[in-house]
């Protein structure tokens, strides 16, 4: 199955309710600091919305809830990998996406045979404090050569205007957060993204 090239990340099912009807086909639900009950409610709502709209839902971090609630994909950051039960994730038939930022992390992740590898931040990002500065487009090209057939996701500081360059550099998918969620008109921004990536 080929994943869509536009990959927005949202922190609540309300965003999915707004954006899926516009044609979003790949989306990540990333929730921080929510009680477990709320997490499970959000995952279940998002799962149903994505099924209704024929979209792929990726659950960030909450792999056990993703298994319990019959989801298809989970995304793990490097810290999450230390605590996650990868064999349980695989046994449940979930596909796995993983974040990478440097050579050691990439080597570690490729040994897990992930279903996609994310590289970030490609550009400076306002979303989280990171010890890595921007990776730049040459790094995207280098990573793609190393991951081969595995889809490569570019993330960090993404905008519609930067999308084409990141895809040309070798990324298969461009992932975005604040360019949509902080936009004054998020719906029209999503339409621009869809136009720019398809």
Q: What is the pLDDT along the chain (198 residues), one digit of tens a residue?
A: 799 999 999 999 999 999 999 999 999 999 999 999 999 999 999 999 999 999 999 999 999 999 999 999 999 999 999 999 999 999 999 999 999 999 999 999 999 999 999 999 999 877 666 666 788 999 999 999 999 999 999 999 999 999 999 999 999 999 999 999 999 999 999 999 999 999
Enumerate the domain spans of the chain.
6-197
Four-residue CA torsion sign, 139, 31, 72, 5 = negative
Four-residue CA torsion sign, 174, 188, 124, 127 = negative
Cis before 19 (ω within 30): no
95 catalytic residue (yes or no): no
Q: Which of 30, 40, 146, 191 is catalytic?
A: 30
128 catalytic residue (yes or no): yes
Q: CA–CA distance from 98 to each of 21, 38, 56, 191 (Å)?
A: 27, 24, 16, 27
CA pair distance 124, 24, nearest whole angstrom = 25
What fold, for 6-197? Answer: TIM Barrel (3.20.20)
Number of helices followed by number of strands (H, E) in the chain: 10, 8
Give the pLDDT confidence score for residue 124 in this predicted structure. Answer: 87
11 touches 29 (CB < 8 A): yes
99 catalytic residue (yes or no): yes
Q: Which of 13, 46, 99, 159 is catalytic?
A: 99
Q: Which of 51, 90, 108, 128 is catalytic?
A: 128
């Amino acid at each position: 199955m080929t994943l869509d090239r536009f990959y927005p990340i949202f922190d609540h099912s309300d965003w999915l309710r707004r954006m899926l009807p516009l044609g979003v086909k790949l989306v990540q639900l990333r929730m921080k600091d929510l009680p477990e009950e709320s997490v499970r409610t959000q995952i279940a709502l998002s799962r149903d919305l994505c099924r209704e709209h024929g979209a792929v839902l990726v659950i960030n971090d909450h792999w056990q809830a993703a298994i319990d609630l019959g989801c298809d994909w989970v995304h793990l950051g490097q810290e999450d990998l230390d605590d996650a039960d990868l064999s349980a994730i695989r046994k449940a038939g979930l596909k796995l996406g993983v974040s990478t930022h440097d050579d050691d992390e990439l080597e570690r992740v490729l040994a897990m045979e992930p279903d996609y590898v994310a590289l970030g931040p490609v550009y400076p990002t306002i979303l989280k404090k990171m010890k890595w500065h921007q990776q730049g487009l040459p790094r995207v090209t280098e990573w793609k050569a190393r991951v081969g057939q595995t889809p490569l996701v570019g993330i960090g500081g993404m905008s519609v205007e930067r999308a084409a360059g990141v895809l040309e550099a070798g990324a298969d998918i461009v992932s975005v957060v604040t360019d949509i969620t902080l936009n004054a008109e998020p719906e029209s921004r999503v339409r621009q993204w869809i136009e720019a990536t398809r």
